[in-house]
Amino acid sequence: MEASYDVLREIIDTAKGRTLETYREALRYREIPCDSDWRRYLMWRFPPIAQAHIVKAMLAHPQGNTISDIQVTFLLDQGAKEAMAEILGVLLPEEHRLTVGELRSRLKNLPDCMPVFYERIGDEFLGKPGWTPKVFREKTDPGFPQGDSIECFSAFTAHVAVDEQGKEALVVTAHY
């Protein structure tokens, strides 16, 4: 029997609280003057700390022994993402949402000259200037059915934007 989603959320929330306490403690002794250096330090230092707190919360939870291997993977990934989003003040990553870290890992072996596309949007504006989509089939993801295709347009630009609460997110725009 697998642990319920509520149990997984309890563990993530417990671990996130402990990670934030560790962060606040480290902030007291902050000696790095440049904000970009501080962000790099946080991105290097705190994901493993968040994962350690997740493991401790799993072990301490009364239903911790019901957590499957797949659920452990989810906890380590999602919990670290949520803790880092809170610390860095960015939009909280929901499940199944691409993050900059995942994008970076997918891009690390690709050439800089490779163009970026996004999946076609049902927007009549895109057809008016005579734009035509490129058709692609998934190359490497075994979960994507072979033979299925997606229609895509070139990405216009990407930038960091903020929502109503001032939380940051990377936005790839469809058109100007």
pLDDT average, residue stretch 72-82: 91
Q: How far is residue 39's CA from residue 55's CA, in Å, rounded to a whole number? A: 24
Of the two residues 171 and 76, the one the predictor is more confident about is 76
pLDDT for 16: 93
Q: Is the pLDDT score of 102 beyond 90?
A: no
pLDDT for 53: 96
> Could you state, in order of their start, the residue ranges of all structural domains in the chain?
2-60+67-174
pLDDT average, residue stretch 9-15: 95
Tens digits of per-residue pLDDT, 47-72? 999 999 999 999 999 999 999 999 99
Tens digits of per-residue pLDDT, 124-175? 666 666 677 778 877 665 555 566 787 777 777 788 888 888 887 778 877 6
Q: How far is residue 174's CA from residue 124's CA, in Å, rounded to a whole number? A: 12
Q: Is the pLDDT score of 109 beyond 60?
A: yes
**Which tokens go with 104?**
């970076």
What is the residue whose two structure tokens read 């493993």? 48
Of the two residues 34 and 91, the one the predictor is more confident about is 91
Ranked by mean pLDDT, the top range of 4-8, 99-103, 162-166 is 4-8
pLDDT for 52: 95
Q: How far is residue 53's CA from residue 76's CA, in Å, rounded to a whole number? A: 9
pLDDT average, residue stretch 71-91: 88
Question: What are the CA-CA distances from residue 72 to residues 137, 145, 153 (Å)?
Answer: 31, 27, 37
Q: How many CB atoms lie within 10 A of CB 45?
A: 13
Q: How far is residue 77's CA from residue 165's CA, in Å, rounded to a whole number? A: 25
Strands, sheet with 134-136, edge to edge from the N-terminal-most edge strand: 117-119, 150-154, 134-136
Q: How many residues does the chain have?
A: 176
Q: pLDDT band for 17, please (50, 70, 90 cuts).
A: very high
Q: Answer yes or no: are the C-beta atoms of 15 and 53 closer than 8 Å.
A: yes
